[in-house]
């Protein structure tokens, strides 16, 4: 009976996701407000069905009161986000909200399946951050002082990245996080928001060539600190944020071409400077030739995705724990497999 339920759930998942995707495209082409509202209501229903179906499989495999409590808390979270957010912020993008909740639901299910403790910790973080995202727009609309803090954003962001450079723990060749007791966090995730605030405040008032040069130097400081920490992924993200915000501010497409050229040159330099970049490039180019070393994670992920086939194996029917760092890094492979 248990196997039958898991197998049935697998096919229902595929059907629901197909319908959900169709509704996403339907919402894009529909101009009538009432029709769009009905589409989002149907999407919300699918999100709840997907979550209940997934967490019921988790409970079936690991029956415990903790699973029931977590499921109840996460269902309350979905009700609040999908039901209350659009009431408080009437102009909120319902498409973004629905897609966010669908992706979170899939994440909740897979983390509960892979590591229950990690799933609880992740849910607490998501809930706290979501509540903050509910309050921040209200505070920004009520108080005007935020737009006067441009240079505060700039130097607080730089200070946070410098702290990671000197105090961060090295993980897979890069300094990403600071650990305080049992709590580990990546300051660069918060600095991304501060960086956007800084650029928005500065470029809104200063977009002449001299100002562009000053903003480029300051953005370069952020990127160079991240490069020194060998956090090249974040360095790339910060660079792209700067490039596109500069384009939005100036409407000068030449900056995009210059940025693309600079990015290409920086990529070549990074390849020759950092051994872990060379390893990752080799793993991307041909993981099978370095399967025992740099390509191991990629190869195991490809094995998992391939063994799942088009329909997936079903929850708990795959072997995602053979994928290295699956709950932190390559959870996509676990989702694809099952």
The pLDDT tens digits for 59-77 are 999 899 999 999 999 999 9
Over residues 167-193, the pLDDT tens digits come to 776 666 666 677 776 667 778 788 888
pLDDT at 91 (0 to 100): 85
What are the angstrom distances between the C-alpha of 225 and each of 27, 116, 158, 262? 42, 35, 8, 17
Helix, strand, coil content of the chain in percent (nearest 5): 80, 5, 15
Question: Rounded CA gap, 84 and 153, in Å?
Answer: 31
Over residues 35-62, the pLDDT tens digits come to 888 999 999 999 999 999 999 999 999 8
What are the angstrom distances between the C-alpha of 37 and each of 75, 218, 236, 275? 21, 44, 37, 52
pLDDT at 336 (0 to 100): 92
Question: Average of pLDDT values for 304-328?
Answer: 88
Residue 25 has pLDDT above 70, yes or no: yes
Least confident of 14-28, 54-68, 80-94: 80-94
Question: Rounded CA gap, 108 and 70, in Å?
Answer: 10
CB 201 within 8 A of CB 149: yes
pLDDT at 280 (0 to 100): 83
Q: Could you tell me which residues are beta bridge partners of residue 170? A: 175
Over residues 298-313, the pLDDT tens digits come to 899 999 999 888 889 9
pLDDT class of 96 with cuts at 50, 70, 90? very high
Percent share of the chain, pLDDT over 70: 96
Chain mean position to CA 27 = 23
**Within a 10 A sphere around the Cβ of 144, how many other Cβ atoms?**
8
Specify the residue for token string 């309350």.
Answer: 76
What is the per-residue DSSP string for 31-77? --HHHHHHHHHHHHHHHHHHHHHHHHHHHHHS--HHHHHHHHHHHHH
Question: Rounded CA gap, 204 and 326, in Å?
Answer: 42
- Phi, psi at 30, each rounded to 5°: -90, 135
pLDDT at 173 (0 to 100): 60
pLDDT at 13 (0 to 100): 93
What are the angstrom distances between the C-alpha of 229 and each of 151, 192, 216, 275? 23, 16, 20, 14
Over residues 209-224, the pLDDT tens digits come to 888 889 999 999 999 9
- Can you say whether residue 323 is alpha, beta or left, with left for phi > 0 and alpha for psi between -120 and 50 degrees? beta
Over residues 113-165, the pLDDT tens digits come to 999 998 999 999 999 989 888 887 777 777 777 778 889 999 999 998 888 88
Question: Rounded CA gap, 77 and 123, in Å?
Answer: 9
pLDDT at 46 (0 to 100): 96
pLDDT at 175 (0 to 100): 65
Over residues 253-273, the pLDDT tens digits come to 898 899 889 888 888 888 888
pLDDT at 45 (0 to 100): 96
pLDDT at 133 (0 to 100): 82
Question: In the structure, how many helices (H) and strands (E) does the chain have?
Answer: 13, 3
């Amino acid at each position: 009976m248990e196997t039958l339920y898991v197998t049935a759930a697998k096919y229902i998942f595929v059907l629901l996701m197909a319908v959900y995707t169709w509704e996403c495209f339907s919402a894009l082409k529909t101009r009538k407000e009432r029709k769009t509202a009905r589409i989002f209501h149907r999407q919300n229903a699918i999100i709840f069905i997907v979550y209940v179906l997934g967490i019921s499989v988790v409970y079936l495999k690991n029956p415990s009161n903790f699973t029931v409590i977590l499921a109840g808390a996460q269902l309350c979270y979905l009700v609040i986000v999908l039901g209350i957010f659009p009431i408080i912020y009437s102009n909120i993008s319902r498409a973004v909200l629905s897609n966010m909740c669908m992706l979170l639901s899939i994440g909740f299910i897979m983390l509960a399946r892979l590591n229950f403790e990690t799933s609880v910790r992740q849910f607490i973080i998501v809930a706290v951050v979501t509540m903050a995202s509910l309050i921040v727009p209200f505070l920004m609309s009520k108080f005007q002082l935020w737009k006067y803090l441009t240079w505060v954003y700039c130097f607080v962001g730089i200070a946070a990245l410098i702290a990671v450079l000197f105090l961060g723990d090295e993980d897979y060749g890069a300094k990403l996080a600071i650990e305080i007791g049992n709590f580990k966090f990546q300051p660069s995730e918060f600095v991304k928001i501060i960086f956007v605030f800084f650029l928005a405040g500065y470029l809104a008032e200063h977009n002449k060539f001299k100002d562009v040069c000053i903003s480029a130097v300051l953005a370069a400081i952020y990127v160079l600190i991240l490069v020194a920490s060998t956090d090249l992924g974040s360095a790339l993200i910060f660079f792209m944020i700067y490039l596109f915000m500069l384009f939005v501010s100036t409407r000068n497409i030449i900056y995009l071409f210059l940025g693309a050229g600079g990015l290409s040159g920086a990529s070549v330099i990074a390849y020759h400077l950092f051994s872990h970049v060379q390893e990752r490039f080799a793993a991307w180019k041909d993981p099978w030739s370095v399967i025992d070393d740099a390509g191991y994670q990629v190869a195991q992920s490809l094995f998992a995705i391939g063994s799942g086939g088009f329909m997936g194996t079903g929850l708990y029917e795959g072997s995602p724990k053979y994928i290295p760092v699956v709950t932190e890094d390559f959870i996509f492979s676990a989702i694809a497999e099952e």
